[in-house]
Chain A
Amino acid sequence: MIRKNLVSLTMIVALIFGGGLLGCDQLGGDSQLIITATHVHKAPTSLDDPVWQKAPAVLVPVKGREILGGEEETVFTKAVYNDDSLYFLFKWVDPTRSVTKQSWQFDGKQWVHLKGNEDRIALLFETTRINKFATKGCAVTCHSPPDVDREQWKLATQTAAEKGDLWHWKAARSAPYNYADDAWLTVAGRPSGSYRETGRVKDRGAGGDIKNQAKDKSRPLYMQNPAKEPLAPGFLLAEEAVRITDYSIFKPGDVIPFRLPKKPSGSRFDVRALSIYADGGWTVMLRRKLDTGHDDDVVFNPRKRYSFAMAVFDDSGADHSKATKPLILVFRR
């Protein structure tokens, strides 16, 4: 009798289970690329950490627009997460390591800006729902509003209720401090003014960079403090800079960075980064807490899926980039 009851109970449970699961994956129709963050117990600590092997790789297509129209590439993308943080690993081909960012060079007579800018990668997540972002991606934020001239387009959302979380890794300005500049996106400032301001707002805290130039913009103002060992060789950090008092010490060909990264802190320092340029390409790892506790950041709930988009910039100081279509981030245990 007991055995009969047990068998019957098992069959009922199996029926409920089977029947219920028929409803699984009924979403269908998704044409977006899905990036799956795999749950790991041990967090990756380096770019080549064996933990990364547990995550499936996705080759995310990025396509150029405007002056880069038609150019296509792929960004090798992986994601893992643990109970505390989310980690991304990106690799993309870039024939040149661009970190010049208009550095100053002394030609023997005067200081001139070197040609060349910096490489970057940017990610945009929805903090609150951005209308049509899930289906149109960055186009609804970069190309806005559509009824004004292209020159006036600013990275912004259409309404104040729509907010995005913007992570911006910059090879010359944030990489020296191993982070990606954390900002958020809202409606453009002065929307009815003659010139709209960007809707990009820096997260609370310090960071970014200062321009290294004299008032008349003819020469640099700061140089590396000779008494300090550079924390990031090749870059001039604001905290290690000292005012130039004697310009006669410079020889022709000497280079001084134009942009001085400032020490990051607060919410602006939420997205940590490791990066390396090798074998003709960049490898960048980003890490951020699932919930930073800051209201200017998206909160990642591993039970949800998130729309996001990304763009890579090659030696660019403007918004000329190669961007993805909208992507989906899901978490898998």
Chain B
Amino acid sequence: MDRTGNSSETLLERLGLNSVATRLREFEVPSDGLTWTRFFGSMLLVLVVLLFLSGAFLAFYYSPAPGVAYDSVDYAQFNIPFGDVVRGIHYYAWNLLLIVMGFHLVRAFLVGGYKPPREFVWVSGVLVLLVVPAFIITGDLLPWDQKGYWSTQVRNSIMASVPVVGDLLVRMLQGGPRTGIVALTRFYVLHTIILPGLLIFLIGAHLHVLSHRGLSSPLAGENTPRKRVPFLPNMINRWLVLFIVVTVVLGLIAWYWPAPLGDPADPTDSTYVPKPEWWVLALNQLVAIFKGPLTVIATAIIPGGLVGLIMALPFIDRSPERHPTRRKKAMLIAAVIALVLLGLSVMGYVEHYLTPLE
């Protein structure tokens, strides 16, 4: 700095961030980290950012109390300019997140992305996958409409059927025997503070392990050296392009098909029959099959077993072979599980969406 107070330092230098910027510029990632054919992971990141931003907008207008929650959502959606687009993006992004997450998981499975040395990349990714439904479940109640309220009742009854901890879990979640103001406040805190914190931590852990162990290489040419590009600006620019594409397309969807906001919740109206969403059709069908004392099979044993199996996959399938055609046993088991889940979902769809109510 000279005597006139002028400085030749850049803003980054003044803020003490120069070394961080230099590290990011020097940090290189494989060029195929985000390409037209490999983008699920990046898309998930983009969707999470989009959900956080749209969620923050909605939180500015939201009041977590049963008497006013519905009206506050209605106000944000229909009285604030582009409120319906923002709520629509928030609504549709969750659905997309689940689908892309499914594709991400399937791709990682097919290319053996869980094989050493990336076991914990897989495990941390599955943990992220488990947090997402919690977001949807807690977010569903927040508008305090009929669908959210009665879907929560169904979910709570399913949760309560889990042995030993079920009842306790439901009471902790609801803060009492009924879904009222305490439940709504707890769901709101979970949805906007605790779960986002947990998700950021898990994504951070996932990316940390990923950067430490590296991206899995293409199946063809595993030992071929890969072109590398600087993280800043190349990868950041690609993310920005993806962010814009996703935002515009979801914005258009939200504009033409506004996010639904049903009738206000009426706890005295037990005639309302909530329809399960597409991603829980299989689980819902299991509950329909295993009734009475067998419910625990559908609510705890099968889902828990499946999650345990997916989580432990890197430690069960320990062969170093990555190519799917040379992992026939694993492929066959996965195909059977996928077919069963698909079959249950189709059965659930027919029962809940195509069969008229009596």
Contacts and interface: CB of A to CB of B under 8 A. Distances in A.
A228 interface: no
Interface string A3-31: 01100110011011111111111111111
Contacts of A32: 263
Interface string B258-296: 111111101011011111011000000000000000000
A129 B70 contact: yes
Interface residues of B, number: 47
B89 to A, nearest CB: 9
B99 to A, nearest CB: 4
Interface string A112-142: 0000000000000000010110111000000
Given A29-B272, A31-B272, A303 B78 contact: yes
B264 A129 contact: yes
Interface of B is mostly: helix
B91 A23 contact: yes
A131 B98 CA distance: 35
Contacts of A109: none
A16 B264 contact: no
A135 B96 contact: no
Interface stretch (B113-121, B245-253, B336-344): B245-253
Contacts of A42: none
A307 interface: yes
B147 interface: yes
B91 A15 contact: no
Nearest to B278: A22
B37 A20 contact: no
A16 B249 contact: yes
Given A12-B39, A22-B99, A307-B263, A28 B274 contact: yes
B37 A8 contact: yes
Contacts of B150: 29
Contact of B99 (A12, A15, A307, A328): A15
A187 B195 CA distance: 42
Contacts of B179: none
B207 interface: no
Interface residues of A, number: 36
Nearest to A6: B36
A150 interface: no
A307 B145 CA distance: 13
B95 interface: yes
A301 B357 CA distance: 30
Given A29-B274, A134-B266, A13 B147 contact: no
B275 A29 contact: yes
Contacts of A41: none
Contacts of A131: 264
B52 interface: no
A215 interface: no
Nearest to B249: A16
Q: Which of B71, B95, B261, B353 has the most CB of A within 10 A?
A: B95
Interface in B70-112: 70-71, 74, 78, 84, 91-96, 98-100
A20 B253 contact: yes
A19 B99 contact: yes
Contacts of B93: 20
A13 B100 contact: no
Contact of A132 (B258, B266, B273, B277): B266
A209 B214 CA distance: 83
Contacts of A19: 92, 95-96, 98-100
A8 B274 CA distance: 37
Nearest to A4: B36
Contact of A29 (B43, B84, B253, B273): B273
A321 B145 CA distance: 30
A135 B78 contact: no
A26 B147 contact: yes
B242 to A, nearest CB: 8
Contacts of B201: none
Interface in A263-318: 301, 303-305, 307
Given A134-B264, A303-B258, A16 B250 contact: yes
Contact of A17 (B78, B146, B249): B249
A135 B258 contact: no
A23 B92 contact: yes
Contacts of B147: 26-29
A300 to B, nearest CB: 11
Given A13-B245, A28-B274, A21 B257 contact: yes
11 contacts: A12-B36, A21-B92, A21-B253, A26-B277, A28-B147, A28-B273, A129-B74, A132-B269, A134-B146, A135-B266, A304-B261
Rank and list the top 9 A-B pairs by shortest CB-CB distance, nearest first.
Answer: A28-B275, A8-B36, A134-B263, A20-B92, A23-B95, A19-B96, A19-B99, A135-B266, A135-B269
